[in-house]
Amino acid sequence: MSVASLARGAHGELDQLYIETRELRLQGFLLFLVSDCVLFSSFIFAYLYLRNSGQGWPPPGIQRLDVAFAAWNSVVLFGSGATMHYALENFKHGKWMAYMWFLLATIVLGAGFLGGQAYEYNHLIYAEHVTWWGSGIFGASFFTLTGMHGMHVFFGVCYLTVLVLQSSAGVYTRGKYFGITAGTLYWHFVDVIWVVLFSIFYLL
């Protein structure tokens, strides 16, 4: 048997293994997202319960959050969800350069959202003296939940950066791209969580 035949055989086995495990990987990843939903939900419902325990809201001495700034930062994050969607769609259709540009745009927008969040934290802590440890239920809940979300966005940016490197190295093909699908699902997940957090902290 020639070297070329061995290579084709090995490639075929790898393809078959990928096909057989793809659904299991997807199910495992979806279970991970469900567990993350449970984590966020427990904190969110605890916050809503404590918020409605009888005291006025926001608590005395704490001003309402800057809705306009948060809305702008939200547009940045939701825009990154759109670019990630188009990145995946362009990859599926073999449009390599468009895929890479949309993926890089997602990373930039995600980093921009984190920068906006850092600016807001700095303003709250040093200008308005709202802190995690000294502002009661509001401060503890706000910094815990938005901090958890920001951590997820940061990990997402790191993962998308790995996708750029892997894609450049030819790891993914039009028939094998579960890593990109997982990245897209994860990014949409952080978008959905932010819709909830934006609503309960800035709008309600």
pTM: 0.88
The string of pLDDT tens digits covering residues 56-101 is: 777 777 888 999 999 999 999 999 999 999 999 999 999 999 999 9
How far is it, in rounded angstroms, from Cα 15 to Cα 9?
10
For residue 73, how many C-alpha atoms fall within 13 Å in the half-sphere facing its CB? 24
Q: How many domains does the chain have?
A: 1
In a domain, 15, yes or no: no
In a domain, 11, yes or no: no
In a domain, 25, yes or no: no
In a domain, 105, yes or no: yes
The string of pLDDT tens digits covering residues 133-192 is: 888 888 999 999 999 999 999 999 999 999 999 999 999 988 889 999 999 999 999 999
In a domain, 139, yes or no: yes
Read off the CATH number of the domain in which 131 is found.
1.20.120.80
* Lookup result for tokens 């995690």: 132
Which tokens belong to 133?
């440890």
Q: Which DSSP symbol is given to 176?
A: B
Q: Which of 111, 81, 79, 85 is nearest to 98 (CA)?
A: 85
How far is it, in rounded angstroms, from Cα 122 to Cα 115?
11
